[in-house]
Chain A
Amino acid sequence: MWALLAAACSCSTTPAPPVAVRIRWAQDPENLDPMVLPNPQAIEAANLLHCSLLQLDYAQQLFQPALATGLPARQALGDSLTVFTYELRPEARWDDGKPVTARDVAFSLKLMACPPALGLPNEDTRLAYRFVHEVRQEAAFPRRVSLVCAGQAPTHLQATGTFPILPEHRLDVAGRLRRFSLAALQNWPATQPPDTGLTAFAQQYQAFRVRQRGNDLPGCGPYVLAGWTKDARMTFRRKPAWWADRLPAPVPAVLRAPCPLLTFEIIPDEATAGLALQRGELDLFPQVPARLFAQLRQSPAARRELAFHTAPSFEVVTVAFNTQRPALADAPTRRALSLLLDASGLLQATQLGEGQRTAGLIGPADPRAGCCDSLPPPAFDPPRAAALLGQAGWQRHPDGWRRRKIAAAPAPALQLRLRYRTGDAMQEIIALQFRAAASRIGVLVALRPTEAGALGAALRAGDFDLCVRTVKGNPFSCNFMPLLHSRAVGEGNVSRFGTAASDQLLERLAAAATPAQQARLLRRFQAMVREQDPLVPLFVVPTRLAANRRLAGLHAYGLKPGYALTALHRATATEPAAVPAP
């Protein structure tokens, strides 16, 4: 029966239209509502449907004007406020031909700030854009908008420009949100019931979301959603008349969209995705696992058909100590234990040597790495670790290490619990290596593989001694407060580290206005991390892309997703096929 059916379907192995660029996703985006966007795939999809004032130029590693004509004019108001003024492009249009105006920018910000009582799923965006206090519009200049922001952090420039702009005339036909200021919505008292106009708006908006398949809202981005089968495939079709096509040449890189059809194939299994790439059923396989990447690169047949790209990313794999545990409260003990981590061996075992060792949270390929060039990467030296433990007040006994007794108090033992995400091969290898090295010098380590959802709760609660985590960064800011500030204890600061001096240093680093000031403070920050050892940076994970050679415009970048969708297209007869980046 199968043979007959197979014959009936004529064995077409390249079913997608020839112009489509097919990219592998490991999971479904789940939701396309710009206020929700639960995973990286959803963010990638939203960037195709929506436009923001500024967008990331991957090649330059800079935010460049998209809906805005240029970077915003910046003006300090006193010493606590900053005003960013944007001019919108006159060519920018919604699909119905209406212009994108300052009203749309104000509407988008107000939508994100609606009070919780309305039941809109905007909890995250409400939090993220709290720093925008006021939206100023000028009747005479409908394309000019000024955002008054709290503080004068340099990161505000990017943050004010990177939220998706939504059409007011489609989502708030009656203009109900216009009656409220941004501050009024942000500071709506929890005890005060929402205004009837606001409630009516929320109901209308929710009804619109439900009508829209997958909650995709109308956008002014280059693509529309052409098809979505959950857990299987998502297709985007380029708008035949996108507003940016009318821009005078040269069109900015962030506003190019050369591919007429983009298909994301949702393939959870890496081996299956690898086969699909070799069969020509996929054009791009981002974030290829190290072992599969090496296998493909070593295969002559695969090398003929595929191009391979790598670049250092901004993700640093670390091991964090819980500094509030009595045994790990002192820096000398943490420093001793950090010598039990074999970063070179782990880099070889988990990335097959592809990544980079790092001395700090800024990797060696980062443009700002010069400020930590004086720090050598941590060494792997178990005998020295044992000696340092002795210096830190620990004594080795037949059953393990114990602190020297103080008076009649029981001597605490050095028994460590290491948490890591279950099913994550890289984290498991790191945990096993640490336990093996620790056992060589008699330190007892119990491994606690933990389910991903429960792991976050356990780390927030401080229910661990050590944990493996990947710290994600970017080249735009040096804001390490979510990782190591004492205010972030119970959230991102899983090390529960923080002193008055370190907090002050982190705050000054985040607010550094000039590159020179930033470099000076960054050097101090890196030295402080090394001295205090709240976490041990091990290595930088590389971006790995494998792609069909017919795909043009592909380069690997350190920022996720590791490639620029706005540059991808199929190579034409006159255009050279993709070649690996040097």
Chain B
Amino acid sequence: MGLHFLGRRLLNALVALWGLGSLVFLLGRYDQAGGPEQQLLPDGTEADASTESRDPAALADARQAVRHRLGLDQPLFYLSQRVPAAADGARWRWNGTANQYHRWLARLLRGELGHSLRTGQPVAGQLGAALRCTLPLTGAALALALGAALWLGQGLAGPRCWWQGPVRALLLALQSAPPFVLALGLLLLLANPRALNWFPGYGLATEDGLTGWAWFGELAWHLALPVVSLVLAALPDLALQLEAALRHELGTDYATAARAKGLGEARLIRRHALPNALLPTLTQAAGLVPALLAGALVVEVVYALPGMGRLLASAAALRDYPVVLGGVLLTGAARLGALLLADVLYHRADPRIRWAR
């Protein structure tokens, strides 16, 4: 696998990312229902019997002023449809570069993600702050889930043992449980003064001025339950898939030949079956990587963690387009990067794999 291949894949990934970003940009702005100007001004439909009465006509003008300030009154794209058609029959109008899409793309190429429509703060700063919470959470969960899946998968595929049945049943039960049930269950069991009051119930480290190990300890203590919730949600798929792949590999001719040569079952699994069985697990792990950046909304809500999941969900609900786009681009880049990495690891795990030219 050469640099040529990597370069081509990277180029494809960039084109895919541009397509993804453009699609989300155009779809988001095409949907005018509940647009940002409606979120930034008092919603007339929530109007109350108030001391201040806003003139409805003036409210419409104010909405237009918000759209103008945010640049939403510009044409959306280079081309727009004339309704009704022009006198000469032309149905399409060329808007030149004075359009929202061009402005967004030009800024993006300069490395600017723009500013939040609601807070006025730079999007990159908001994403960075959310990632500082999300990455330790999802990163630890992914590492622990992968490690536990490798260990459990080998154990379940190994020689028959009394614990395999109950563990398999437990994994199946966990697999069928929705993430919010797991998160709330752990919270009510282990952070509840009426049950076991062992862990903090919400948030990150709360002590100001902590540094070094004390800060890390506080952070880890606060993240314990959220991380376990995520591990329990991701583990069954990974472990059961790996067990199935290992069982398949252990039934193949090369495994039988290895056994005939006197190789022990544990060594056979570790040295021969596991590298081959890892391929589907690599795909699964690559699928989990975007969640590293996109956050885990349910867990963040239940444990009140200020992460990417909550940031992006609230931005989508409040039509804060720049934040949504920044999040989509980041997550999309993570997905494409993970797929590229998975391809490389495929090649490392199974040298028989050749790349199509």
Contact = CB atoms under 8 A, between A and B. Distances in A.
B49 A451 contact: no
Contacts of A9: 214, 217-218, 220-221
Given A9-B220, A275-B193, A474-B50, 14 more contacts: A2-B220, A13-B197, A127-B54, A267-B203, A272-B304, A275-B201, A281-B200, A453-B33, A456-B34, A457-B33, A479-B49, A491-B44, A492-B44, A494-B45
A454 B214 CA distance: 46
B118 A31 contact: yes
A25 to B, nearest CB: 10
Interface string B83-103: 000000000000000000000
Interface stretch (A207-215, A373-381, A402-410): A207-215
A38 B42 CA distance: 8
Interface string B167-203: 0000000000000000010011001111001111111
Given A9-B221, A453-B38, A233 B49 contact: no
A491 B217 contact: no
B203 A457 contact: no
A38 B46 contact: no
Given A116-B65, A279-B193, A5 B51 contact: no
Contacts of B150: none
A276 to B, nearest CB: 5
B302 A272 contact: yes
Contact of B191 (A28, A266, A279, A361): A279
Residue of B130, B194, B216 with highest tally of chain A CB at under 10 A: B194
A276 B120 contact: no
B331 to A, nearest CB: 18
Interface stretch (A87-95, A386-394, A482-490): A482-490
Nearest to B204: A232
Interface stretch (B234-242, B266-274, B311-319): B311-319
A158 B51 contact: yes
B21 interface: no
B45 A469 contact: yes
A458 interface: yes
Contacts of B59: 127, 491
A491 B47 contact: yes
Nearest 3 interchain pairs by C-beta = A453-B34, A492-B47, A491-B44
Interface in A131-169: 155, 158-159, 162
Interface in B293-317: 301-307, 310-311, 314, 317
A16 interface: yes
Contacts of A483: 47-49
A153 to B, nearest CB: 8
Interface stretch (B4-12, B205-213, B247-255, B341-349): B205-213
Nearest to A510: B53
A395 interface: no
Contacts of A457: 32-34, 38
B62 A126 contact: yes
Interface stretch (A66-74, A117-125, A432-440): A117-125
Interface string A447-466: 00001111111111000000
Contacts of A130: 55, 58
Contact of A155 (B51, B133, B202, B214): B51
B34, B202, B224 interface centre (most CB from chain A within 10 Å): B202
A8 B304 contact: no
B187 A452 contact: no
A159 B47 CA distance: 16
A272 B187 contact: yes
Nearest to A158: B51
- Size range of the chain A interface in the assembly: 35 or more
B119 A472 contact: no
Contacts of A491: 44-45, 47, 56, 59
B51 A477 contact: yes
Interface of B: 32-34, 38-59, 62-63, 65-66, 68-69, 118-121, 126, 129-130, 133, 184, 187-188, 191-194, 197-204, 206-208, 213-214, 216-218, 220-221, 224, 301-307, 310-311, 314, 317-319
Contact of A488 (B47, B193, B208): B47
B48 A8 contact: no
A80 B179 CA distance: 62
B27 to A, nearest CB: 14
A265 B44 contact: no
Given A301-B194, A453-B33, A456-B46, A276 B306 contact: no
Nearest to B184: A271
Contacts of A36: 40
A279 B51 contact: no
Contacts of A269: 301-302, 304
Nearest to A8: B217
Interface stretch (A223-231, A336-344, A567-575): A223-231
B304 A5 contact: no
Contacts of B120: 31, 33, 121, 209-210, 215
A5 B213 CA distance: 9
17 contacts: A6-B199, A8-B217, A124-B40, A130-B55, A130-B58, A159-B51, A265-B202, A278-B194, A454-B33, A472-B50, A473-B48, A473-B49, A474-B50, A477-B49, A481-B53, A483-B48, A490-B56
Contact of A128 (B49, B54, B65): B54
Contacts of A30: 118-119
A488 B56 CA distance: 6
Contact of A229 (B48, B202, B306): B306
Nearest to B144: A1
Contacts of A278: 192-194
B53 A265 contact: no
Interface string A511-549: 000000000000000000000000000000000000000
B39 A453 contact: yes
A455 B39 CA distance: 12
A123 B69 contact: yes
B41 A479 contact: no
B129 A230 contact: yes
A408 to B, nearest CB: 34
A119 B49 CA distance: 30
A304 to B, nearest CB: 11
A180 interface: no
A281 B42 CA distance: 34
Contacts of B53: 155, 479, 481-482, 510
Nearest to B32: A457
A31 B119 contact: yes
A490 B55 CA distance: 12
Instruction: Name the residue in B57, B221, B318 with the highest tally of chain A Cβ atoms < 10 Å from its Cβ.
Output: B221
Interface string A78-91: 00000000000000
Nearest to A463: B33
B58 A5 contact: no
A276 B214 contact: no
B65 to A, nearest CB: 4
Contacts of A33: 120
B304 A268 contact: yes
B317 A476 contact: no
A272 B317 CA distance: 22
Contacts of B306: 229-232, 266
Nearest to B122: A210
Contacts of B202: 265, 267, 272-273, 275-276, 281
A458 B38 CA distance: 12
Contacts of B311: 230-231
Contacts of B42: 124
A480 interface: yes
A116 B61 CA distance: 10
Interface string A495-506: 000000000000
